[in-house]
């Protein structure tokens, strides 16, 4: 950090120091106006180009209609974006994040404590970035990464300190605001998130992690994650999300952009558990160059309605993509999730493995698109969807779209839908497990493909969430 | 020494106008005894096995299934026992409670559970059984000692490390020992429960589970079907060990004399049309092998 930048930050710290008494240091007015956008941008001390991008995105958001006519789409009619506060910064007196866990306010530490995050830290998993409300407040990065030129910081900081990289990649080629209404909304009011840059040929051995948490009533969360993996590099990014229940509706509309360079390998894993009144509407996309490999591992829990279809554009010859998604829906929940893959070059390969669990009248839907472009010869794709239902009130649908414009390809799709078997439960009960434990064991086994891909703390958390969900003890 | 007593048991399929399957079964099996239950297809043998274990698909319309225990059976129980604790009406209990009291059902077609390793499953089952067993004998409303929030010291798929009576290390040793006894490959422990197991492996696995859970009474439903001669011997050795080393009582359902050459029954019963039509010693099985079931049916009708 240059002395000038340092001064600027100290200045900023001072600016917020006197507001410490307040619950939140800053909250924008409810609703979405140009004025709100200007306030956010100014508060973040953003360069003019970012403000202009936000304003353009706002225009696009206003022009685009709400999606209402997809077959079997979740109902968004109760979502009122104007009632949502788009930006809240927690009361932390260090704006750019702190380097030491102990510097965090007790209240925030407690919240993370309950979710077992200090455990992860204790076990020396490197690079935990924790976001509390809209601001990354905790950053910890191992020195050796920095020496290799790896950058991991919060997105607001990246705009300041890595402006050229951000300007080139931020919502330009991967997820432009014009992509969909919620991408446009995100482009206008995004705040916080993570920036990861891995230079050519560098392998980041330990997973990079971020933790997002939403903690204020009626608040939206719009974090942006930008991952750039240069040629031949390798990184595993993990994001965990969780939110308690509140009476007002919440909106989460994140954006994730991943650039997988030639022969690079990026794994993006997330376990999300939003409160049952949250609309979880995200846009996540990766572009993979020649020989690049992208892996999406996602667990979608909670929320009132989720619409999330991580997508990969296989742009270069021999690029590959692997999706593993797990969704769980209980009473009053509609989880509409899946994957999209565009095979735009020859010899590209994709696999999609989707698993869903519906109980107590919940609905899960797999919505997937595999597009194979004319000329993408010798490409292959395999899609597998498994749905597990607990009762006759729950529903599960599979909507796999396949657009195949090339004849020399290999396409496979397989779907199974099953009710959780009485015989399976009886078998486990006859061995001493009670009814709940038996169901829990079957579900743990069902989601095992995802848990085995995750570092142990996340696997544990996912299992715990599922366990709580099964007991119905989550709000 | 435990005794399972089935008296005048009538069942039908648990749905409206359900089919009547058992029509007054009487049977008594005690620890250390081997009973063979034979009979033609559809006579109700598997139904009886499932009803003993508490399968929800059947409704008991008449009769009882009691399990009588002795001090010997309850030596592990850490509670003051009163008279009621020695005799249990199984029909009032959930399947897992019956398991905790010492009832084991070896399935003809065991469920395949993907994603759950044998080790994880067996340890959880053993701990669940021990915990439930203790709870059954404690005063109503008196909770078993409350455990602290369990931490996961091992793999999350293995469950909380400090949850239950049997630790991971202790369990591994026990499992290995039992698998060696049954001549099972140690890699079984890491496979998913019955998933992709051959017919023989599944049967071996059922016997392994019985060996680990040490039941008072094991009901083995066609444990010999689909076994080649080598596996049949392994499985038979396992059953004999269950009786000889753990003193379990065994009710072995079978179609064939073949397994009875290795596991010699003390009693043989013939079930026809939902009743025990005839009982006898080991020689009865040979008679059935030679002459089929028709003569038993004729006898039954003649008597009626």
A432 CB neighbours in chain B (<8 A) are: 96, 99-100, 125-126, 128-129, 132, 213
**pLDDT band per the 50, 70, 90 thresholds, residue A257:** very high
b/e map of A437-447 (b: 16 or more CB within 10 Å)?
bbbbbbbbbbb
CB contact under 8 A, B100 and A444: no
Domain that holds residue A448: 424-474
C-beta atoms of B213 and A431 within 8 A: yes
CB contact under 8 A, B56 and A445: no
Average pLDDT over residues A145-170: 90
Using a CB–CB cutoff of 8 Å, tell me whether A426 touches chain B. yes
User: Is B209 at the interface with chain A, CB within 8 A?
Assistant: yes
ipTM of the complex: 0.92
Q: The tokens 């270069």 sit on which residue? A: A316
Residue A39 has pLDDT above 50, yes or no: yes
Residues of A in contact with B54 (CB under 8 A): 429-430
B150 part of a folded domain = no
Which of helix, strand or coil describes residue B13? strand
* pLDDT digit string, tens, across residues B89-125: 999 999 999 999 999 999 999 999 989 999 999 999 9
pLDDT score recorded for residue B152: 38
Per-residue pLDDT of B132-157, as tens digits, reads 999 998 865 444 444 444 333 333 34
Does residue A191 belong to any structural domain of this protein? yes
What is the average pLDDT across A241-254?
59
Query: Which tokens in the block code for residue A42?
Result: 């100014």
Closest Cα in chain A, distance from residue B24 (Å) = 24
Please state, in angstroms and rounded to a whole number, the distance separating the CA atoms of residues B178 and A242. Answer: 43
Rounded Cα–Cα distance for residues A306 and A337 (Å): 7
* Contact check, Cβ <8 Å, A431/B53: no
Which residues fall within 8 angstroms of residue A398, CB to CB, at 6 or more apart?
A: A365, A366, A385, A387, A415, A417
Interface test with B, best of A429, A447, A464, A468 (most B CBs within 10 A): A429
Q: Would you say B50 and B105 are in contact if contact means Cβ atoms under 8 Å apart?
A: yes
Mean pLDDT of chain A: 79
Rounded-to-integer distance, Cα A44 and Cα A253, Å: 19
- Inform me whether the C-beta atom of residue A49 falls under 8 Å from chain B C-beta atoms: no
A331 falls within a domain: no
Q: Cβ separation of A433 and B128 shorter than 8 Å? A: yes
Please check whether residue A291 lies inside any domain of the structure. yes
Give the residue on A whose Cα is nearest the Cα of B49.
A430
**A372-430 pLDDT tens trace:** 999 999 999 999 998 888 888 999 999 999 999 999 999 998 887 777 778 899 999 99
What is the model's pLDDT at position A275?
72
B289: closest CA of chain A, how far (Å): 31
Specify if B31 maps to a domain: yes
Asked if residue A11 has pLDDT above 90, the reply is: no
What CATH number is given to the structural domain containing B51?
3.40.50.300
Q: For position A471, what pLDDT does the model report?
A: 67
Query: Does the beta carbon of B164 lie under 8 angstroms from any beta carbon of chain A?
Result: no
Instruction: List the single range of A239-243, B53-57, B154-158, B163-167 with lowest mean pLDDT.
Output: B154-158
Task: Judge: B110–A426 Cβ closer than 8 Å, yes or no.
Answer: no
* Mean pLDDT score, B73-100: 92
pLDDT of amino acid A120:
43
Chosen from B132, B156, B190 to mutate, greatest number of chain A CBs within 10 A? B156
Question: Which residue matches tokens 């072995």?
Answer: B252
Whether residue B175 contacts residue B122, with contact meaning beta carbons closer than 8 Å, is answered with: yes
Residue B114 lies in a domain: yes
Rg of chain B over Cα atoms, rounded to whole angstroms, equals 20
Instruction: Please determine, for residue A328, whether its predicted confidence score (pLDDT) is greater than 80.
Output: yes
**Whole-angstrom Cα distance, residue B216 to residue B68?**
10
The predicted-structure confidence for A200-229, as pLDDT tens digits, reads as follows: 999 987 777 654 433 333 344 788 999 999
Is B142 part of any domain?
no
Shortest CA distance from A425: residue in chain B = B111
Say if the Cβ atoms of A428 and B54 lie within 8 Å: no
Q: Compute the count of residue pairs across chains A and B with CB atoms less than 8 Å apart.
A: 98
Quick one: closest CA in A to B195, which residue?
A: A445
A323: in domain = no
Answer whether residue A243 shows pLDDT above 90: no
pLDDT the model gives residue A292 = 98
Residue B146 belongs to some domain of the structure: no
C-alpha A415/C-alpha A428 separation (Å) is 26
B209 contact residues in A (CB cutoff 8 A)? 431
Among A430, A434, A460, whose Cβ lies nearest the Cβ of B105?
A430
The C-alpha atoms of residue A446 and residue A456 are separated, in whole angstroms, by 17
Residues A279 and A120: their CA atoms lie apart, in Å, by 28
Domain tally, chain B: 1
* Interface probe, candidates B58, B96, B161, chain A, greatest A C-beta count within 10 A: B96
CB-closest option in A431, A441, A460 to B152: A460
Tens-place pLDDT, residues A421-442? 788 999 999 999 998 889 889 9
Lowest mean pLDDT among A282-291, B138-147, B222-231: B138-147
Summarize the confidence of residues B70-86 as an average pLDDT.
88
Residue A192 within any structural domain of the chain: yes
Question: Could you tell me if A27 and A173 lie in one domain?
Answer: yes
Q: Region B70-95: what's the mean pLDDT?
A: 91
Helix (H, G, I), strand (E, B) or coil at B35: strand
**Residue A143, domain member (yes or no):** yes
Which of B55, B121, B129 is closest, CB to CB, to A426? Answer: B55
Q: Under an 8 A CB cutoff, do A424 and B152 touch?
A: no
| Among candidates A424, A426, A432 on the partner chain, residue whose Cβ is nearest the Cβ of B128 | A432
Q: Which of residues 68-107 of B touch A (CB under 8 A)?
A: 94-96, 98-100, 104-105, 107
Last residue of a domain, one of A274, A308, A342: A308
**B153 located within any domain:** no
Of B55, B56, B157, which has the smallest distance from its Cβ to A444's Cβ? B157
User: Which range marks the domain in which residue B225 is found?
Assistant: 3-137+163-303
Tokens of B125: 């089952």
> Is any Cβ of chain A less than 8 angstroms from the Cβ of B57?
yes
Chain B residues with CB-CB distance to A451 below 8 A: 156-157
- CB–CB of A431 and B209 under 8 A? yes
User: Which residue in chain B has the smallest CA separation from A123?
Assistant: B153
At residue A6, the pLDDT reads 41
Cβ <8 Å between A449 and B115: yes
What mean pLDDT do residues B173-185 have?
Answer: 89
Q: Is the pLDDT of residue B77 over 90?
A: no
Which pLDDT belongs to residue A247?
Answer: 36
Residue A321 pLDDT: 98
User: Looking at residues A165-188, what average pLDDT do you find?
Assistant: 95
Under the banding of pLDDT at 50, 70 and 90, the label for residue B16 is confident
Q: What percent of chain A has pLDDT over 70?
A: 74
Q: What local confidence, expressed as pLDDT, does residue A110 receive?
A: 53
Q: What is the pLDDT of residue B87?
A: 95
Residues 6+ apart with CB under 8 A from A15: none
**Edge-to-edge strands, sheet with B267-272:** B103-106, B217-221, B249-253, B34-38, B267-272, B275-280
Confidence of residue A447 (pLDDT cuts 50, 70, 90): confident
Section B157-167 average pLDDT: 56
Distance CA B286, CA B302 (A): 22
Assess if residue B127 is contained within a domain: yes
Is A430 in Cβ contact with B124 (below 8 Å)? Answer: no
Least confident of A3-7, A375-379, B25-29: A3-7
Q: Are B124 and A437 in contact (CB under 8 A)?
A: yes
Of A431, A437, A452, the CB nearest to B99: A431
Whether A117 has a pLDDT exceeding 80, the answer reads no
Task: Tell whether A361 is covered by a domain.
Answer: no
Q: pLDDT grade, residue A241 (50/70/90)?
A: low
Contact across the interface for B124 and A441, Cβ inside 8 Å: yes
Q: Is A21 touching B (CB cutoff 8 A)?
A: no
Q: Do A430 and B128 touch (CB under 8 A)?
A: no
Q: Does A377 touch chain B (CB under 8 A)?
A: no
**To 10 degrees, the CA torsion angle through B136, B137, B138, B144?**
-50
Chain A residue with Cα closest to B112: A424
Q: What's the total number of domains in chain A?
A: 2
Give the pLDDT confidence score for residue A419 in this predicted structure.
Answer: 74
**Pairwise CB contact (< 8 Å): B111 & A441:** no
The answer to whether residue A466 is domain-embedded is yes
Domain limit, last residue, from A308, A337, A366:
A308
Residue-level pLDDT at A219? 42
A423/B111 touch (CB, cutoff 8 Å), yes or no: yes
Q: Look at residues A255, A290, A308 and tell me which one is the last residue of a structural domain.
A: A308
What six digits make up the tokens of B83? Answer: 């008279």
Q: Assess if residue B20 is contained within a domain.
A: yes
**Residue whose pair of structure tokens reads 């909507």 in the numeric block:** A399
Give A100's pLDDT tier (boundaries 50, 70, 90): low
């Amino acid at each position: 950090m240059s002395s000038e930048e340092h001064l600027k930050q100290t200045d900023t710290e001072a600016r917020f120091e006197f507001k410490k008494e307040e619950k939140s240091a800053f909250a924008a007015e409810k609703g979405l106006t140009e004025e709100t956008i200007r306030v956010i941008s100014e508060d973040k001390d953003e360069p003019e180009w970012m403000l202009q991008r936000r304003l353009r995105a706002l225009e696009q958001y206003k022009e685009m209609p709400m999606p209402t006519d997809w077959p079997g789409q979740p109902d968004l009619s109760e979502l009122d974006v104007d009632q949502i506060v788009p930006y809240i910064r927690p009361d932390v007196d260090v704006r750019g994040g702190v380097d030491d866990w102990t510097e965090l306010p007790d209240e925030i530490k407690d919240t993370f404590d309950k979710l077992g995050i200090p455990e992860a830290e204790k076990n020396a998993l490197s690079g935990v970035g924790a976001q509390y409300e809209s601001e990354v407040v905790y950053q910890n990065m191992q020195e050796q990464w920095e020496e290799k030129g790896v950058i991991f910081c919060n997105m607001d900081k990246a705009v300041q300190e890595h402006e050229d990289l951000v300007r080139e990649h931020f919502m330009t080629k991967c997820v432009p605001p014009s992509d969909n209404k919620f991408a446009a909304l995100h482009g206008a009011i995004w705040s916080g998130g993570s920036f990861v840059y891995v230079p050519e040929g560098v392998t980041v051995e330990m997973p990079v992690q971020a933790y997002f948490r939403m903690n204020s009533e009626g608040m939206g969360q719009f974090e942006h994650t930008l991952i750039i993996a240069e040629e031949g590099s390798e990184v595993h990014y993990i994001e965990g999300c969780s939110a308690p229940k509140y009476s007002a509706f919440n909106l989460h509309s994140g954006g994730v952009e991943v650039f997988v360079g030639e022969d690079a390998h990026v794994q993006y894993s997330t376990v999300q558990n939003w409160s049952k009144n949250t609309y979880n509407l995200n846009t996540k996309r990766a572009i993979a160059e020649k020989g690049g490999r992208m892996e999406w591992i996602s667990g979608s829990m909670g929320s009132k309605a989720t619409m999330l279809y991580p997508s990969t554009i296989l742009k270069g010859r021999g690029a590959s993509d692997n999706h593993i998604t797990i969704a769980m829906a209980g009473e009053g929940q509609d989880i509409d999730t899946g994957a999209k893959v565009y095979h735009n070059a020859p010899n590209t390969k994709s696999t999609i493995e989707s698993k869903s669990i519906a109980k107590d009248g919940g609905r899960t839907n797999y919505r997937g698109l595999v597009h194979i472009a004319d000329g993408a010869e010798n490409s292959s794709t395999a899609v597998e969807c498994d749905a597990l239902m607990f009762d006759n009130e729950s529903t599960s649908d599979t909507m796999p779209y396949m657009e195949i414009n090339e004849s020399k390809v290999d396409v496979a799709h397989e779907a199974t839908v099953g009710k959780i078997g009485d015989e399976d439960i009886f078998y486990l009960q006859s061995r001493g497990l009670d009814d709940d434990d038996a169901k829990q064991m079957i579900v743990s086994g069902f989601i095992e493909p995802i848990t085995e891909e995750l570092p142990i703390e996340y696997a544990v958390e996912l299992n715990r969430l599922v366990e709580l969900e099964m007991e119905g003890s989550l709000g | 020494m435990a005794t399972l007593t089935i008296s005048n048991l009538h069942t039908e399929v648990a749905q409206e106008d359900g089919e009547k399957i058992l029509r007054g079964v009487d049977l008594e099996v005690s620890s250390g005894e081997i009973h063979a239950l034979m009979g033609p297809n559809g006579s109700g043998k598997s139904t009886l096995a499932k009803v003993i274990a508490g399968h929800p698909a059947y409704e008991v319309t008449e009769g009882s299934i009691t399990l009588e225990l002795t001090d010997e059976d309850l030596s592990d129980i850490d509670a003051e026992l009163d008279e009621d604790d020695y005799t249990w009406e199984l029909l009032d209990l959930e399947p897992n409670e019956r398991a905790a009291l010492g009832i084991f059902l070896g399935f003809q077609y065991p469920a395949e559970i993907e994603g759950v390793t044998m080790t994880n499953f067996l340890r959880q089952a053993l701990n669940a059984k021990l915990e439930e067993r203790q709870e059954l004998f404690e005063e109503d409303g008196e909770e078993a000692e409350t455990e602290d929030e369990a931490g996961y010291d091992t793999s999350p798929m293995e469950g909380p490390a400090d949850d239950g009576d049997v630790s991971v290390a202790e369990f591994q040793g026990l499992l290995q020992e039992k698998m060696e006894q049954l001549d099972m490959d140690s890699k079984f422990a890491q496979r998913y429960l019955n998933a992709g197991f051959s017919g023989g492996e599944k049967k071996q696995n059922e016997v392994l589970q019985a060996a680990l859970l040490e039941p008072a009474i094991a009901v083995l439903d066609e444990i010999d079907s689909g076994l080649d001669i080598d596996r049949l011997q392994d499985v038979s050795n396992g059953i004999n060990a269950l009786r000889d080393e753990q003193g379990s009582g065994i009710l072995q359902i079978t179609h064939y004399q073949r397994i009875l050459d290795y596991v010699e029954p003390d009693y043989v019963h013939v079930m026809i049309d939902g009743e025990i039509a005839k009982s006898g010693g080991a020689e009865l099985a040979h008679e059935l092998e030679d002459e089929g079931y028709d003569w038993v049916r004729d006898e039954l009708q003649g008597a009626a």
